[in-house]
A = this chain, B = another copy of it.
Amino acid sequence: MLIVMHKDATSGEVEAVKAKVLALGLTPHAIPGAQRVAIGVTGNKDGLEPGQFWCLAGVSDVIRVSQPYKLVSREVKPEDTVVHVGGVAIGGGAFCVMAGPCSVEDRDQVMRTAVHVRAHGAQLLRGGAYKPRTSPYEFQGLKLEGLKLLAEAREKTGMPIITEVKDTDTLAQVAEYADALQIGARNMQNFSLLEAVGETKKPVMLKRGPSATVREWLMAAEYIVARGNYQVILCERGIRTFETLTRNTLDLGILPLLREMTHLPIVVDPSHGTGRAVAVAPMARAAAATRVDGLMVEVHPDPRSALSDGPQALTFPMFEAMMKELRPIVAMGGQRLGEAR
């Protein structure tokens, strides 16, 4: 941490800051400046609060130097983490496509979708059983019935399933059926839920919150890992900006930097990231071209009748076309896409 003093801070004020640093068991290093003094602080381990210094007299600014996340950082663990969901690896050279309907609506819908996406190379089946919705009057998912239909689809196709867990009350039930748990964007800083999934030891996909900085996202992942669950996948799904043409602004530009910051696998959700079906395949190709570890996309037999998020769902032919286009891009990065069958 670096504490920058005001240009006209008195030497008494500088000494008071140094005394406070020492009182915390840390070491102050005064840096004489032409215009002002700065004080480097060393010895802190766990994300020292800048606030403790900001309100001292004569302090102009307090700047973090070390990052407050530890276990998720590549400085602590340089090699890539590979997360295993059912028999499917995510990270470490595999390129995993997770596909399926936004919401599980009925047996026919989920079965047909599972069979189709499997046939074209998807490796994980996604589908919402518990759906957090902006309005209390919107369809909230089939709940337990939805989980059972997903399990049936796994039975039939052999694909492991990933589904959202929206609260601690239903966690045990969801964990019983799901191979991997998804934390939705609006729950990214639901710390009680993060801690609870940290205890489960199930693979977890953590979506970035719509207004979360990369640093906050990594801190949220740190909550899960700090409880002993290292099986965490990060999912970029767009941030909220002033632009309303797309539902969110898919932030691909951070991905090469995120890769340097963390060892966790990274996937992209172009369905929520754009909210418009016509943009999904182009953004899926774009994400693959940046060399992420996979994609999550929404597919529906008939998007026009979808109970949620129809405008962003791919039809079956669109999904098939997207997978064909992805194959050479993924290969180019030395990665492997699931086989079509």
Contacts and interface: CB of A to CB of B under 8 A. Distances in A.
Interface stretch (A112-120, A173-181, A274-282): A274-282
B256 A309 contact: no
Contacts of A167: 168, 190, 192-193
A166 interface: yes
Interface in A276-307: 276-279, 282-283, 285-291, 303-307
Contact of A189 (B132, B242, B248): B132
A288 to B, nearest CB: 7
Interface string A227-245: 0000000000011111111
Interface in A213-264: 213-216, 219, 222-223, 226, 238-246, 248-257, 260
Interface in A30-67: 31-36, 38, 40, 42-44, 46-47, 49-52, 54-56, 61, 63, 65-66
A332 interface: yes
B43 A4 contact: no
A236 to B, nearest CB: 11
B249 A136 contact: no
Number of copies: 4
A204 to B, nearest CB: 15
A253 B241 contact: no
A137 B68 contact: yes
A123 interface: no
Contacts of A282: 252, 255-256, 289-291
A93 interface: no
A92 interface: no
A158 interface: no
A10 interface: no
Given A214-B243, A243-B213, A257-B245, A36 B65 contact: yes
B260 A254 contact: no
Contacts of A289: 282, 285-286, 288-289, 329
A241 B244 CA distance: 11
Contact of A216 (B38, B69, B134): B134
B135 A68 contact: yes
A226 to B, nearest CB: 5
Contact of A38 (B40, B50, B75, B250): B40
B40 A33 contact: yes
A77 interface: no
A53 to B, nearest CB: 8
A329 to B, nearest CB: 6
A163 interface: no
Contact of A332 (B31, B191, B290, B325): B325
Contacts of A193: 167
Contacts of A338: none
A110 interface: no
Contacts of A285: 289-290
Closest 10 pairs (CB-CB, A-B): A211-B211, A167-B192, A286-B286, A285-B289, A31-B40, A51-B310, A54-B311, A289-B289, A186-B189, A282-B290
Given A253-B270, A285-B289, 20 more contacts: A2-B2, A2-B63, A8-B75, A20-B304, A33-B42, A36-B66, A47-B135, A54-B311, A55-B313, A134-B219, A137-B226, A167-B193, A210-B211, A213-B243, A244-B244, A249-B249, A249-B253, A253-B279, A256-B282, A286-B286
